[in-house]
Every structure is written in C-alpha cells, then in structure tokens.
Structure 1
Amino acid sequence: MHGMGCSRRGARHDSGSRWKKPEQGPMQNREDMSPQAPDMKATAQEETDNVVPSAPPLPDSAPGPTPSPRPKLVFHTQLAHGSPTGRIHGFTNVKELYAKIAEVFNISASEILFCTLNSHKVDMQKLLGGQIGLEDFIFAHVRGETKEVEVTKTEDALGLTITDNGAGYAFIKRIKEGSTIDRLKTVCVGDHIEAINDQSIVGCRHYEVAKMLKEQPRGIPFTLRLVGPKKAFDMIGQRTRAPKSSEGKMVSGKETLRLRSKGAATVQDVPSEFEERAIKKVDDLLESYMGIRDVELATTIVEAGKDKKNPDDFAEALDSVLGDFAFPDVFLFDVWGAIGDVKNGRV
C-alpha cells in the first residue's frame, strides 16, 4: 500500500494523461420576478357615463403553484443498552445525526461510538453507514468499559478489519478467526480503538489506523487502548462477531436517506441489485487492500464508476470526490474490473 494520505494529482503513469478535477461552474441564481401591480389610483373625474374605465393590464404570466415541500423526515431512536424512545429529524450527515441523538438523551455526542439500524445488538450487518431506510429505527451505542490490551504480532496481519463512525472514531468491524487478535478474548467487534501505545488516534480515519497497525513490527509488544460499547444486562458476556456475508445490506423501505460527508442529505431509491452487488465487491477489495470496511465509501466508488467508459475516466471521477484517499493504481484497476464484472453479469 502506498501513497497514503496524499491527494492524487498530476500525470497517470500508465497512460500519460493528466488528471484534472472537473471544474464546477457557479450556480445560477434564479430571480423570481413578481408582476407589477396595476395603478389603482382613480382618475380625477369621469365626465360622462359613456366612458368605461379601462381594465388593469394582466400580468404576462400567472405565477405557478408553489411546490409542496417534502414532508419532514422523523426517525425513532434509542440508546442500544436501553432507554426511552426519542424522535430526531433535521440532520444531513453523521455528525449532525449524533448531535441530534445526544440532544434527545441529554448526553455528549462524543459518547456515541456508532449506530446500528433495527437492532440494539453489536451487529455489523446492521451498522449505520451512508444510508438510512425511511422506516429504520436507529440504536446508538455509547461508550462503555475502557480496557488496555498488550499485543505482539506473530505474523504480518493482526486479523483486524477497521471501519469508522464518520465522526472521528475508528472501531473494529471484523476479527479473523484464528488470528493474533482472535486469541485475545478481551478484544471484541465494536471496540473503539482510542490509542496505540498511548498515542491518541481519535480523529484519524480508518485507513490511517489500519496503516498504523500494519506498520507495527513483529515480535515487539505494543498496547491498544480500547473502548467497548456499553452493554445491557442481557448482552454481557457476548463476544459479537461479524458474519462474512450481506454486510451493509439495506433491509427496509423503497427509499433511503443518503447521508453524505460533504453536502446535504438526499432521499433516493434503494440501490439496485447491480449496485448492491458492486458495492459488496468493492467493500471486499477495500478490506483486501486497505484493511478497512466502509459501505458508504464503497457506495461512493460505485456511483463514480458505474457510468464511466474507461479506467482513466473512472480514476478522474474518483479523484474529484475522494482525492484525499490516494488509492493505489492496482486497487483502482481491480475495482474497475469488479464493477465491469458485475455490470456484465460475470459475478
């Protein structure tokens, strides 16, 4: 893995073409011109009954009906370890969502580690990503026990897959069976990685944390400070593990609220069968190449590539929305191939 943390700019090594971010023109503001009201002053006097006062001029065009606004989207929410039900609305990204939940339950937004949909359990199949079904019930998992674990690498990979909550917390999404981490029974799926060797990583993206863990040398112990989600009584003692299939699949509604890290949230149709399969393939490649799982990121990649005609156009489109990731060329071509395989029915 190379080129981490740097934006991709300049020439492509394999094609010689230069990548430029497409320039966006300024939005054109439309001014609604109200018709001038007719002069309502009466004439000084009318001399005869035969004079008919002229009618006021009609406006050039009658104003159209005002479009009815989309109904306010209201979602129900609870704290995963148990609470009354609250109602939230008016958020456009994950940070605002956490702030709304925190306001309802009178807690700090920094207490929220992640959210699941329609389940209070630490179930990574139900993890809230970039889309929420319009009828989904949101469960917020808050900070629980803090623990420190000493880890010694015996092989290159620890057996962890990392994701993040979109608000600065990276956490464990998958533990590979039989791996170094799997043998440390105090480490669980859903644990937030707060520090590595006393170095705080709060605010780091998941791919940065995965890179730090990969760079830890073999045979030399290091310390992970972890924060587990608070558990209800009936969940104590469970060590939840993420299944290997159907991760991130939408389970409700014909429309979803798509949350975006930049820009306003939008209501759109549930991903098509092609998009769902392509998103799953891209998410698998993210884990293989970068040690992360991120359905929102995979969805953005598929949206950037589904209508493109060649790899260069795809890479340019991807850089315009995800330039900070600086994906390796080999990853981009494998993703392009995976999207093509799904599109052409080969997968």
Structure 2
Amino acid sequence: MPLGLGRRKKASPLMEEEDGGERSALSVSQGGGMPGSSLSPVPPGLPPPAPALRPRLVFHAQLAHGSPTGRIEGFSNVKELYGKIAEAFHITAGDVMFCTLNTHRLDMEKLLGGQIGLEDFIFAHIRGQKKELEVYKSEDSLGLTITDNGAGYAFIKRIKEGSVIHRMQLISVGDMIEAINGKNLIGSRHFEVAKILKELPRGRNFTLKLCEPLKAFEMIAPRSGLGGVNSSMSPSGRGTLRLRSKGPPTVEELVRTNVT
C-alpha cells in the first residue's frame, strides 16, 4: 500500500450489487472540512452527544443537469437527504432519482453509496423524459444490473455489452424502471424488480416503462460515451460519519498504515 494511504473500516453498503440496491444507512467521510462541517469523533465506550449538541454537517449540491449551488444539512438518512435536496431546489422529493459525488455525469462509479466525504460535492439527478418500449426476450439474461435509491426507485446501474438490452439504444444506464407489463414498480426494491425480469418467459415480448434522468445539453450523447467518465473533482476523507436508519449518527476514524 502506498505511503500514507488510509485503510477504511468496511462500511455497511448502501449499494448492494447484483442487481444491487441502495439502503437507508449512509456514511460520510470526514476530510479537511467545510465551513459548518466540523465534527469530533466520539471516544470509544462513551455515548453519543445529545441531539441538541451535535453539530450540523453542511454539504453543497447542484442538480446534475445544471442549477445554482445549494446548501444541504440536517439529514440523517438517504430519504431525508433527498428531502433536503428537494427543499433547496424547490422540487419534490419524488423528483430525485439518485445522486453522484463530484461529477454531474451518469458515472455509476461515482454513485452516492456507502459514504460521503465532507468535501464531496453532491449532484442530484432528477426525473426527466419518460419512455415506453417493447422488448423481445431472446435470451434468459437481459444483461442488466439493477440497484435502487433507498427511496422507492429501482434503476439501471450497468448494461452488459452485447446483451439483449445493450442492443436497444433507447435504454440507458440511469434509467428508472417504472413498470413492467403494466405492473407499477414504484416503491419496489432492486431484487423485486430483478426477480420479475428474470421470471419473464423467454421468446416473448414484454413492455418496459422507463424514466431517464434529466440531462444537460452536454450529456446528450451516444450511450457508449457516458460511462466511466471521471471528474476532475476528487473525494477526500479521513473518517466516516455513519447515518443509520436507527440511532444517532456516529463517527469512526480511519486506521492509517505506513508501508515501507
């Protein structure tokens, strides 16, 4: 391991792979700090401070398709984060599909997952154009990896090259799956949606109702040009604030290891 690299204690994942999904628990990495974002670790064995004494972490966010910068604070789980984003930009919480960190692009490697650095910049991807397509299931596997946002939306995280879905240019990474064969899937977890897709009979058509994220002009490009794009912004962090579905947030420090 390179000199000075921190070894992070494994967090409970917000994103579960395979056909993986986002959970309500969330971690925030503590970096150099932003104004209003300082937080001291809780010593081992001591109870967390009373809610009134806990400092409020402040983050900065924009809508991925373009917007002024907003201040986001006072959330303790993923649903509350979406609600605070909605308040900041005068939209409904249901408009927020998912968030990426430090890039406005549809880069699933930067998907808001198990942790947020205190200096990370949040980009919220909101609902855009709806589309309905008929798909012929010529193979048992459609070539999709599905995740969910922890707030009732399942969407496409990856598309396998050469698969049934890959051959359909109108279906893209980031598309939310609203319905299959007329069955409303809003509120479903990723594994429920994946199960329905797997159980569809081979050799038949099925109807897929999708909603794509609202895109900025520069993001309207062939699907192959959108994946794996890295931003010049990079996350930082030296500790983890865990936002849990039950109980108060807690801070864990990184174990730093020097390798000679």
Sort the TM-score into its range (normalised by shorter chain): 0.7 to 0.9
Alignment-derived partner of residue 217 in structure 1: 201
Q: Does the aligned pair in 1 maintain the 2:105–2:226 contact within 8 Å?
A: no
Equivalent positions of 1:141-290 (< 5 A) are 141-239=125-223, 242-243=227-228, 251-269=235-253
Q: What is the SS of the residue equivalent to 2:208? A: strand
TM-score normalised by the chain length of structure 2: 0.72
Determine which of 55, 59, 63 is the counterpart of 1:79.
Answer: 63
Alignment-derived partner of residue 132 in structure 1: 116
Determine which of 97, 103, 114 is the counterpart of 1:119.
Answer: 103
Shift of 1:124: 0.3
Quickly say closer, same or farther: Cα 1:137–1:125, change in 2 above 3 A: same
Query: C-alpha separation between the residues in 1 aligned to 2:227 and 2:241?
Result: 24
Q: CA RMSD in A?
A: 2.5
TM-score normalised by the chain length of structure 1: 0.55
Shift of 1:135: 1.0
Q: Does 1:89 align with 2:70?
A: no
Q: Does the aligned pair in 1 maintain the 2:138–2:204 contact within 8 Å?
A: no
Equivalent positions of 1:259-338 (< 5 A) are 259-269=243-253
Quickly say closer, same or farther: Cα 1:265–1:241, change in 2 above 3 A: farther
Shift of 1:73: 0.8
Shift of 1:130: 2.8
Q: Does the aligned pair in 2 maintain the 1:193–1:201 contact within 8 Å?
A: yes
Shift of 1:266: 3.0
Shift of 1:69: 4.3
Shift of 1:198: 1.2
Q: What is the SS of the residue equivalent to 1:182? A: coil
Quickly say closer, same or farther: Cα 1:260–1:130, change in 2 above 3 A: farther
Equivalent positions of 1:30-49 (< 5 A) are none
Q: Does the aligned pair in 1 maintain the 2:119–2:235 contact within 8 Å?
A: no
As a proportion of its length, which structure holds more helix? 1
One-letter amino acid of the counterpart of residue 159, structure 2: I
One-letter amino acid of the counterpart of residue 183, structure 1: R
Query: C-alpha separation between the residues in 2 aligned to 1:272 and 1:117?
Result: 24
Larger Rg: 1
Specify every segment of 5 or more residues in structure 2 that has no aligned partner in the other structure, as ranges: 1-46, 229-233
Alignment-derived partner of residue 41 in structure 2: none
Quickly say closer, same or farther: Cα 1:261–1:175, change in 2 above 3 A: farther
Quickly say closer, same or farther: Cα 1:226–1:272, change in 2 above 3 A: farther
Q: Does the aligned pair in 1 maintain the 2:219–2:226 contact within 8 Å?
A: no
Shift of 1:256: 3.1
Alignment-derived partner of residue 3 in structure 2: none
Alignment-derived partner of residue 6 in structure 2: none
Q: What is the SS of the residue equivalent to 1:179? A: coil
Quickly say closer, same or farther: Cα 1:272–1:179, change in 2 above 3 A: farther
Quickly say closer, same or farther: Cα 1:84–1:216, change in 2 above 3 A: same
Q: What is the SS of the residue equivalent to 2:196? A: helix
Quickly say closer, same or farther: Cα 1:122–1:271, change in 2 above 3 A: farther
Deviations 1:114-133 (A, max 9, x none): 00001000110110013111
Matched pairs, number: 203
Query: C-alpha separation between the residues in 1 aligned to 2:246 and 2:61?
Result: 24
- Percent identical residues: 66
Determine which of 76, 98, 101 is the counterpart of 2:85.
Answer: 101
Q: Does the aligned pair in 2 maintain the 1:134–1:255 contact within 8 Å?
A: no
